[in-house]
Amino acid sequence: MSDAKKLYRRLVHLKSETNPQRRSIRDGFCGLFGHKVNVLDHYGKKLETLEDNVRMEQLSVAGKEVPAAFVSFKSRLGAAVALHIQQGTNPTEWVTERAPEPQDIHWPFFSSSFIKRWISKLLVVVAYAAVTILFLIPVVIVQGLTNLEQLETYFPFLESILSLTVVSEVITGYLPSLILQMFIAFVPPIMIMLSSVEGCISFSQIEKSACIKMLCFTIWNIFFANALSGTVLYRFDIFLDPKEIPGILADAVPAQASFFIAYVVTSGWTSLLSSVLFRLSPLICSIIKKPFSGKDGDELKVPSIPYHSHIPKVLFFGLLGITYFFLAPLIIPFLLVYCCLGYIIYRNQLLIVYAPKYDTGGRFWPTVHNSTIFSLVLMHIIAIGIFGLKNLSLASSLIVPLPILTLLFNEYCRKRFLPIFEDYPLECLIKKDRQDQNDPTIAVFYNKLSTAYEDPALMPIRHPRSTDDHNSPLLQAGV
């Protein structure tokens, strides 16, 4: 399909070419031997063969039965019944899911069985754990760069360069978080890739899953690995030792305050300005791509918000604020500037630049809530550890009820508010259904519905190439 599109573009490009020299090409090996042929004819024929092949393939696929379907219901209540009540006696045989918006469907897992999706999910969890652990290697290097003494012992030949004040200041102050930033820039695409083979049937699910993965990854690999790295490197098993965690955290976390303040500046301010406001990387990408992609520069799409890379970043700065506000209050003004900048920039981007690709329905909020609860509990644990270290056991034990109360509050919120994010209540469904009954445009909607969900692989090819009947759509009505 994409081959045909490329050929079609080249054909359009060639037709607009005025130089007759460029419109002919030598047939044969590498275009060096053989006689000259008209390029238009050559590519035209190629395109025809390709499209015929695609049509043959489509015909064979269209005849196949697929063990999955989109089912539309006359009422929202009917859809909710099908969605919430287990269909068959075997709960893995008939699986019902809310259909995503038509443009939001991720087709590869559309007709996969429950078992295939379950196993994919397991494999992705294993792969995710592997990525998260392997990522510690660049973090270790970064950590090495922040400690000049360590670097000098590992690479003694650098000693003369490192003794320069400018070099050492750049290395200790700015370089470490820049390198970390560079490595982290590769992570969101990896997370999206992992999530896309997890068994999700829509891009929104993939992005939500990638967002959670990215958040855990950030907290583990930036917060914990940086805060504990000295300890983590030599004793990887501290997380198997829960009762020592408060002490270790209290010992290690305050020591890294200057690193995280620098991180807020380099990662927070810079990335907010450069990547969100100026959108430098898409600009560079489009400049590089332009010469290669012919004359369709005007096909530039309106960008959508990459939730999976932005939400974890914002939440991570929240975590830094909550955990460091009593350890190193100096972080607060930096975060305040970040938050004010963020408000202005994101408001501008959301209103003017970004176009939403799908309606999230507020489904990212529970992630935000959970992250905040986690930050609070982590803060309490660090506080317990710090009071423990300073031999204030009364203060330490007075804080113990705080995490318990926070977790109880979380539990209450799960009961009270989480169901609203998961599905619509009967009250709203029936009210909407009654409104629909009196709506004259609903018949038009049902008509649209029958053709809304079509596998792009089965869509007819719509190049305005010639007037012959090859061009008529293969499937007249919706499948």
Among 243, 394, 437, 468, binds a second copy (CB under 8 A): 243
* Contact call for residue 149 and a second copy (CB under 8 A): no
- Min separation Cβ 255 and a second copy, Å: 25
Q: Are 295 and 13 in contact (CB under 8 A)?
A: yes
Our finding on whether 159 is near a second copy (CB under 8 A) is: no
Tell which positions 78-137 bind a second copy, by CB under 8 A: 80-82, 84-92, 114, 118, 122
Binding pattern for the stretch 192-231 against a second copy, x by CB under 8 A and - elsewhere: ----------------------------------------
Go through 335-364 and write b for each residue having 16 or more CB atoms within 10 A of its CB, e for each that does not: beebeebbeebbeebeeebbeebeeeeebb
- Nearest 5°: phi and psi at 108? -50, -35
| CB-nearer residue toward a second copy: 4 or 201 | 201
69 contacts a second copy (rule: CB under 8 A): no
Rule CB under 8 A: choose which of 61, 420, 449, 459 binds a second copy. 420
Which of 423, 433, 436, 455 touches a second copy (CB under 8 A)?
423
Contacts of 40 (CB under 8 A, 6+ apart): 11, 14, 15, 23
Sign of CA dihedral 416, 421, 426, 431: positive
Residue number, 142 or 249, with CB nearest to a second copy: 249
Query: In the complex, what is the shortest distance from the CB of residue 426 to a second copy, in angstroms, rounded to a whole number?
Result: 5
114 or 453, CB closer to a second copy? 114
Separation between Cα atoms, residue 246 and residue 377, nearest integer Å: 11
Q: How many CB atoms lie within 10 A of CB 310?
A: 20
How near is the Cβ of 228 to a second copy at its closest, in Å? 17
Per rule CB under 8 A, is residue 355 in the interface with a second copy?
no
With contacts defined by CB under 8 A, name the span among 134-142, 209-217, 251-259, 409-417 that binds a second copy.
409-417
Question: Residue 365 interacts with a second copy (CB under 8 A)?
Answer: no
Beta bridge partners of 105: 202
- Told to check if 301 binds a second copy by CB under 8 A, we report no
Dihedrals φ, ψ of 24, to 5°? -125, 155
The encoded tokens of residue 269 equal: 């301010």
Cα distance between residue 318 and residue 312, in whole Å: 10
CA distance 359 to 165: 52
Phi, psi of 132 (to 5 degrees): -60, -40
Q: Cα–Cα distance between 8 and 51 in angstroms, integer?
A: 10
Among 62, 170, 400, 426, binds a second copy (CB under 8 A): 426
Q: Which is nearer to a second copy, 85 or 166 (CB)?
A: 85
CA distance 446 to 321: 50
Applying CB under 8 A, what is the total number of residues that bind a second copy?
Answer: 34
Determine if 242 is a binding residue for a second copy (CB under 8 A): yes
The answer to whether 406 and 373 are in contact (CB under 8 A) is: yes
* Shortest CB 87 distance to a second copy, Å: 5
Measure the CA–CA gap between 160 and 256, rounded to whole angstroms: 27
User: What is the residue whose two structure tokens read 């359009």?
Assistant: 12
> Which range in 23-31, 75-83, 193-201, 297-305 contacts a second copy by CB under 8 A?
75-83
Rule CB under 8 A: choose which of 240, 352, 394, 477 binds a second copy.
240
Helix (H) or strand (E) holding 381: helix 365-389
Using rule CB under 8 A, residue 63 touches a second copy: no
Residues that bind a second copy (CB under 8 A): 77, 80-82, 84-92, 114, 118, 122, 237, 240-243, 408, 412, 415-416, 419-420, 423-429
